[in-house]
Amino acid sequence: MNLLFDIHTHNESSSGNIVIRNEFPFSINKEGFFSVGIHPWYFSEDDWQSQWETVTKKVKYEHCAAIGECGLDRNVKYPLSLQQTIFERHILLSEEVKKPLIIHCVKAYSELISLKKKYQPKQQWILHGFNKNQAVATTLINENIKLSFGKSLLTNITVQEVFKSIPESSYFLETDDSGLDIAEIYQKAKQLRGLVQIQFDYPKIGIMM
């Protein structure tokens, strides 16, 4: 049986599949692959630098597969300028340790694209929890930002239409904090694209399993 790949989850159980579990800087390390970064919801102007010190240590762990989630969110109270400062550190760290970047972005896509053009990173950028329209998807894919689809793929018709139309090499699947089994997401993805099987090429995305 082929193992399923969940690129971003907060779930504790992996059902024996390959997962990249999100860790916050000061969370307790668990077994298996993980990503680590400063989420724009969970920092303050007083503590982000201490969080950052921990991130720079954890990314060197053998099972750290990616940087993040990190990014930009206009809906939170912290200034976007500070969020961007912190995000740019993650970009540089991703390049330094040669690991992909898992991104959280809300109402800041123009800033995200500007930073992609500014840094021209060699490491893969992955926008997690994609739930926008075709125009946004096309813009991101044209900048070589891959899209990760989760719970919204099950019920959101706009997201389903986007998913059916994008190139095979431009997406990943995730459970995030939904509590769903990744098999449910895979089943819907196969149905929408008319596929018997979905398999990701790990080395090509810079995640060596």
With b for 16 or more beta-carbon neighbours within 10 A and e for fewer, the 39-67 pattern comes to bbeebeeeebeebbeebeebbeeeebbbb
Q: What is the pLDDT of residue 197?
A: 81
How many alpha carbons lie under 13 Å from residue 76 in its C-beta half-sphere?
20
* Position with higher pLDDT, 2 vs 51: 51
Q: What one-character DSSP code corresponds to residue 144?
A: T
Ranges of beta strands (E only) in 37-109 are: 64-73, 101-106
* Residues 119-169: tens digit of each pLDDT: 999 999 999 999 999 999 999 999 999 999 999 999 999 999 999 999 999
Once rounded to an integer, what is the mean pLDDT over residues 22-27?
A: 88
User: pLDDT at residue 110 above 50?
Assistant: yes
First to last CA, the chain: 17
Q: What is the pLDDT of residue 86?
A: 97
Q: What is the pLDDT of residue 39?
A: 95
* Residues 37-84: tens digit of each pLDDT: 999 998 888 889 999 999 999 999 989 999 999 999 999 988 999 999
* Position with higher pLDDT, 27 vs 63: 63
Q: What is the pLDDT of residue 208?
A: 46
Q: What is the pLDDT of residue 205?
A: 54
Once rounded to an integer, what is the mean pLDDT over residues 191-196?
A: 90
Lowest average pLDDT, out of 7-16, 95-104, 113-122, 138-147, goes to 7-16
| Residue 170 CB neighbour total at 10 angstroms | 16
Once rounded to an integer, what is the mean pLDDT over residues 27-45?
A: 87
Sign for the pseudo-dihedral over CA of 17, 22, 23, 25: positive
Percent of the chain residues topping a pLDDT of 70: 91
What residue spans define the domains of the chain?
Answer: 5-205
C-alpha–C-alpha distance, residues 54 and 26, integer Å: 7
For residue 101, give Cα distances in angstroms to 64, 146, 161, 165.
12, 10, 25, 24
Q: What is the pLDDT of residue 209?
A: 45
What fold, for 5-205? Answer: TIM Barrel (3.20.20)
CB-count burial class (<10 Å; 0-12, 13-18, 19+) for 68: buried
Instruction: Enter the pTM of the model.
Output: 0.93
